[in-house]
Amino acid sequence: MATLARLQARSTFLAHQYYFRNSAVDVFRKKEYDAAVKIQSWFRGCRIRAYLRYLHRVATVIQKCWRGYLGRQHYQLIVKLEFCTMKMNLYNAMAVRIQKRWRGYRIRKYCFNYFYLKEYLKAVSETNDAIREALEEFAEMKEREEKKADLEREEKKRDYQARKMHYLLSTKQIPGIYNSPFRKDPDPWELRLQKAKPLISQRPKVKQKRGVNISNRLACTSARSLPQSEILPPIDRKQCQGPFRDITEVLEQRYKPLEPTLWMAEPINELKMAREELRKQEWMRNINDNMFLPFSSYHKNKKYIPLMHSSSKYGPNSYGSQHFRDENPKKWICDKKFKFHEDRNVCLTYSLLYPHCLEQHLAKERKKERKKERKRKEKRKKERRKRFPNCITII
């Protein structure tokens, strides 16, 4: 019990102590609480900052990788482009080189070939020189010819003069004017006169009276004597010397028709021609051109050429030669051919229904047969008569 009392006495003290201790703590509680809060918040902050730092770092890494990747891609693109450009530049440069060479070559060879032009001009000047030479020669030749012609004309003139002045020639007794005794040599005219032939005083052109000539010609009006030549004789002809026959007689003789002997009149191949003549006449008279070939199988050797219409590609078509109707054997009732007369395969119904008609019909048929036979006989007779017209038939 003592402790209880003690405790109870102490209880207020305890209570007060309890209260005071608790309240004292309360004073510190806020502080401590605040401090704790601060510590906690700061710690939390640290944690989160650390986390953030971590996150930042991680994000940086990601971004770094991504950016590196992008950059590398870009770089590759650039490199590619650069490479392409470099290649293209190289190709362009090479192409330019080729084009440069080709253009130079083309211009120099096809558009303006300097050496060809030089050659051409050289050729032109050579041709010019050649032409100049040729023309010079031609001109010289012409001059020479002219001079020669002139000289010849002069010569002729002098010759003619000498012939005219032939009487001035010196004789033995009297020296001529060109052969003066005081000269050393005779004048060249003297020599010319000596060489020249004296000119006959007859005028070279005799003017004929055309009227007389024509009347002479027209006098011969007989039919046989006029000349039928194409070339007419010249009009102004010099009168020929000497007594001549009358022109009509001459022309008669000239244009007399030929009368050869019998020996000459026949041609040399006359026998051959006569044979030909005979052959022609016979040919004219013959009706049949084929040679008569009795007992020969000449005609059998000829190959028969069938019509196209009646032959097919596998051989001659039987339609048209063997049968003329389009037949369909599949539709036939029986395979034997259907005969309508001669009592054998007469249609049964017909015979039963109309017996009298059948008799009449049969009589008609018999008559027809007899007529046919008669006709055949007569035909044979006619043929025989044709073939052997002269034979007498003993029947």
Partner 1 sequence: MHSLTKDQSPWIPNGKEGVMSLLRPLLLDVVPTIQQTAALALGRLANYNGDLAEAVVKGDILPQLVYSLAEQNRFYKKAAAFVLRAVGKHSPQLAQAIVDCGALDTLVICLEDFDPGVKEAAAWALGYIARHNAELSQAVVDAGAVPLLVLCIQEPEIALKRIAASALSDISKHSPELAQTVVDVGAIAHLAQMILNPDSKLKRQVLSALSQIAKHSVDLAEMVVEAEIFPVVLTCLKDKDDYVKKNASTLIREIAKHTPELSQLIVNTGGVAAVTDCIGSCKGNIRLPGIMMLGYVAAHSENLAMAVIVSKAVPQLSVCLSEEPEDHIKAAAAWALGQIGRHTPEHARAVAVTNTLPVLLSLYMSTESSEDLQTKSKKAIKSILQKCTYLPALEPFLYDAPPNILKHVVGQFSKVLPHDSKARRLFVTSGGLKKVQEIKAGPGSLLQEYINSINSCYPEEIVRYYSPGYSDALLQRVDSYQPLAN
| Contact set with partner 1 (CB under 8 A) | 117, 120-121, 124-125, 127-132, 135-136, 138-139, 142
Q: How far is the CB of 131 from partner 1 (least distance, A)?
A: 3
> Residue 213's CB: how many other CB atoms inside 10 A?
15
Is residue 312 within a helix (H) or strand (E), and if so which, with residue range? strand 311-312
Burial class from Cβ neighbours inside 10 Å (0-12, 13-18, 19+) for residue 186 reads middle
Tokens linked to 87: 């290649």
- Which CB atom, from 126 or from 155, has the smaller least distance to partner 1? 126
- Which CB atom, from 137 or from 270, has the smaller least distance to partner 1? 137
Name the amino acid, one letter, at 193: L
Tokens linked to 8: 């109870």
- Which CB atom, from 96 or from 135, has the smaller least distance to partner 1? 135
Give residue for tokens 């035909």: 379
Nearest-CA neighbor of 362 among 341, 348, 344?
341
Q: How far is the CB of 136 from partner 1 (least distance, A)?
A: 8
Q: How far is the CB of 138 from partner 1 (least distance, A)?
A: 5
Is residue 316 within a helix (H) or strand (E), and if so which, with residue range? strand 315-316
- Which CB atom, from 133 or from 342, has the smaller least distance to partner 1? 133
Q: How far is the CB of 163 from partner 1 (least distance, A)?
A: 30
Q: How far is the CB of 137 from partner 1 (least distance, A)?
A: 10
- Which CB atom, from 209 or from 285, has the smaller least distance to partner 1? 209
Q: Name the 3-class secondary structure at 315.
A: strand
Q: What angle do CA 171, 174, 179 make, to 5 degrees?
A: 80
- Which CB atom, from 232 or from 392, has the smaller least distance to partner 1? 232
In order of 188, 193, 194, the CA distances from 163 in angstroms are: 14, 7, 9
Q: How far is the CB of 123 from partner 1 (least distance, A)?
A: 8
